[in-house]
Amino acid sequence: MSNGHQVETRNTAHFRHDYASEQPDLRRLYEQAKIDQWNAARDIDWSAPLDGDGGLIADDLVDLHGTRFWDGLSAADRIELNRRVTRWRLSTLVQGEHGAMLLCSQLVNCVEGQDAKLFQSTQVADEARHNEVLQRYIDLRLEGTTYPLGGNVKEIFDTLLGTSSWYLKTIGLQLVAETFAVSLFRMLAESSKDAVLRQVCRRILQDEARHMGFAMLSLPALVAEATEAEHREMEDFAVWALGRTLAGTFPLAVYQEIGMSRAELDELKQFRRERAAGGDETAFRKYFRRDLHDGLVRNLRKVGLITDRIAPSLQSFGLKLAA
Ligand SMILES: [Fe+2]
Ligand SMILES: [Fe+2]
């Protein structure tokens, strides 16, 4: 059997008997999706040389940057570390794109609206292109090697694939994970050292913004009409998805690989926390965090999922809820 794992799923397919458009805003998003199709094989300049020192993302985004550990590394070791952290980040992204493709193929079945089904079918193709383009990039610059699937990416997608309700899947994917993806790809598109990586991220970003739009258009009416119990279920699911998504961004495997001890890792994590709390982060990190937090609060509010009941949980993730 090929390298992979199985997830048991139970989903209900809704087979429509009429195909007239009934949600003009979702229909517009579908029309936009058809216009915006791009081709990873043709639309990226794969031959662009790698300028600079051999690092791929901004050094700012390597967690060690700005610490005594970074100061103690040789120039060659810093470049090697930059490349490993890039490989770790792109591994989680290429795996997440595969998970998103599987999940959206379920959503084509589960959603009931005609326009929602058509839009979801375009998202399947979008996520396929994202998976393809990131693997092409990993092949080009990182000799094709990725870190094993694990941790939060696996947990998030296993859970979402095994959940039968379409709106919980959408809260997990299009509302939380893709709001995160939009901020991440925006930052990488702006800051990466490699022109090819910047191009790849710009292209993906354009699609992810549309996917986030699906949540914004399909959830508010449903949330507004939910019973109290359903509302609580959605709130709790959003908190779970936020917790998993926001916690999954530390490349522990890389730092273990370069031989950092447990005490050193604790020191690094403490440094990260203090830097974030003190607003003392480097420019790209600060920009990313503000962009991400603002986006999450705006989108959760827009769909109607910020309540007094879950406000403390959201604040514990660092989200500022003042209107
Ligand atoms: Fe994607
Ligand atoms: Fe997406």
Residues with CB under 5 A from ligand 2 (ion): 208, 211
Ligand 1 midpoint to CA 74 (Å) = 36
Contacts of 18 (CB under 8 A, 6+ apart): 114
Ligand 1 midpoint to CA 204 (Å) = 6
Ligand 1 midpoint to CA 298 (Å) = 21
Query: Which residue type is seen at 304?
Result: G
Domain total of the chain:
1
Q: What is the pLDDT of residues 82-109, one digit of tens each?
A: 999 999 999 999 999 999 999 999 999 9
Nearest alpha carbon to residue 163 among 314, 12, 6, 4: 12
253 part of a folded domain: yes
2 part of a folded domain: no
12 part of a folded domain: no
147 part of a folded domain: yes
Q: What is the pLDDT of residues 197-243, one digit of tens each?
A: 999 999 999 999 999 999 999 999 999 999 999 999 999 999 999 99
Higher-confidence position of 87 and 272: 87
Ligand 2 midpoint to CA 267 (Å) = 35
**Cα–Cα distance between 156 and 244 in angstroms, integer?**
7
260 lies in which domain range? 24-316
95 part of a folded domain: yes
245 part of a folded domain: yes
CATH number reported for the structural domain that contains residue 243 in this entry: 1.10.620.20
**Cα–Cα distance between 267 and 255 in angstroms, integer?**
12
311 part of a folded domain: yes
pTM over 0.85: yes
**Cα–Cα distance between 94 and 135 in angstroms, integer?**
7
Contacts of 194 (CB under 8 A, 6+ apart): 50, 51, 52, 56, 141
5 part of a folded domain: no
Which ligand sits nearest to residue 170's alpha carbon? 2
Q: Map tokens 């530390």 to a residue.
A: 250
pLDDT band at 282 (very low <50, low <70, confident <90, very high): confident
Q: What is the structure's pLDDT at 284?
A: 79
Q: What is the structure's pLDDT at 94?
A: 97
Nearest alpha carbon to residue 60 among 252, 253, 190: 190
